[in-house]
Amino acid sequence: MTVFFRERLSVKTVLAYIVCVSLALLLGCQKPQPQPIEQQPQTQSVPQDEIVDLSLLCKNIEKNIASIDAERTTFALEQINQDLKLCLPLSNFEEQKHFLSLSNQMYRKFLTVNRNAAQQAAFEHYAFDLSQHPTLQQNHFEQLNLRDQYLLKHTGQAYIEVIDVGDGQLQYRRSPEYLAKIFAPYMPPAEQIFIENLAAQNMQPAFTESRLSIEPHEIVNRALFWEEYLKQYPNSSYRKDARYLLQRYSVFLFLGLDDSPVSESYIDRYAIQNSAMEEIEKLAKLKNSTLAAQANKFLQFLQLSEAQRLQHIPVQTAKKTASSSTESGLAQQQLAQYLGLSSLQPSPTRDCFSDAICH
């Protein structure tokens, strides 16, 4: 009896243990674990000296810009450009224009190199080697002014570029992208669009010296853009520059430049550069465009004989130049007068083809 009871007890014990283990897995027989206490988000305290005082930063930025000269580093430039990105959104338009003017002066000072005669010769040789024989350029590098060595090594930083301005001559410049990226996003729409588009256009210069470096198709696109810009933003603070750009691209399209003229004689359509003629004919089909009206008059001009041109388009004595004494020069003067192109020569005091604004 006792044995039977112990055996039954053992079986019961085993069964109870099995049940307990099962319940532990399913329901948790072990001690209930303490519930996690929901923690409140901790506010990280920032040391007071690490908080950027924007009002103070923007107040001092003019002084910091003025401190930049030809002895400073690209790191100093980049720091000021970061500060400008913080201050420009907090500034009104007049203040933004003031900062823009200061930044122009800053880069001019930064990129100034005072070379002696030997250093100038070394720089010119270096420029020639760079354009003609890139593998030989190191021969002249060590003879360069120390500032030239620094700037050439840091080209591409802080929007610094080196460009070929013709005849193998190198020149430092601030990239047109600088104003488009640092200033334009915070300016009124008319000024923002002007700067961003002129920057994009001047990344590929329209000409080098007296030769066009872009095709007629691109010339038409740029001219039409400035015509449309003037329609959309007649009160833009850059409207005079937009008119000047439209005028210059009109000259490029219909006349060209001295070393890349559209035609030598303008006798008929076959005397016109093929690519220019194709674009002018397409342009003439547009509506509501002053540029298209000029294209139509250009085509009409080609149909006039020399006698008719002399009769209907007498070149005013005051407008005659030395070049107008030749047949080609006279035709150019007549065409310019016929199309209403007021000035064939660029302004000696205005540069709209190297930056995102005109200087």
Least confident window among 39-43, 153-157, 341-345:
39-43
C-alpha closest to that of 124 among 170, 71, 61, 185: 170
pLDDT at 329: 86
Helix (H) or strand (E) holding 256: strand 256-257
Helix (H) or strand (E) holding 208: strand 207-208
pLDDT digits over 45-70, tens only? 434 444 457 888 898 999 999 999 99
CA dihedral over 203, 209, 212, 213, signed as positive or negative: negative
| 168 — pLDDT class (breaks 50, 70, 90) | low
Reduced to 3 states, what is the DSSP secondary structure of residue 162?
Answer: strand
Q: pTM of the predicted model, to two decimals?
A: 0.80
Identify the DSSP state of 40.
P
Least confident window among 16-20, 129-133, 212-216:
16-20
pLDDT at 165: 78
pLDDT at 140: 66
Token pair in block for residue 280:
């002018």
For residue 325, pLDDT over 70 is answered with: no
Least confident window among 231-240, 281-290, 338-347:
338-347
Give me the chain's average pLDDT, please. Answer: 84
| 32 — pLDDT class (breaks 50, 70, 90) | very low
Identify the DSSP state of 137.
T
Rounded distance between C-alpha atoms, residue 126 and residue 200, angstroms: 29
Placement of tokens 């003017």 in the chain: 101
pLDDT at 4: 40
Rounded distance between C-alpha atoms, residue 257 and residue 242, angstroms: 20
| 12 — pLDDT class (breaks 50, 70, 90) | very low
Burial call 32-64: b when 16+ CB within 10 Å, e when fewer: eeeeeeeeeeeeeeeeeeeeeeeeeebeebeeb
Placement of tokens 């840091």 in the chain: 154
For residue 157, pLDDT over 50 is answered with: yes
pLDDT digits over 109-136, tens only? 999 999 999 998 888 888 777 666 555 5
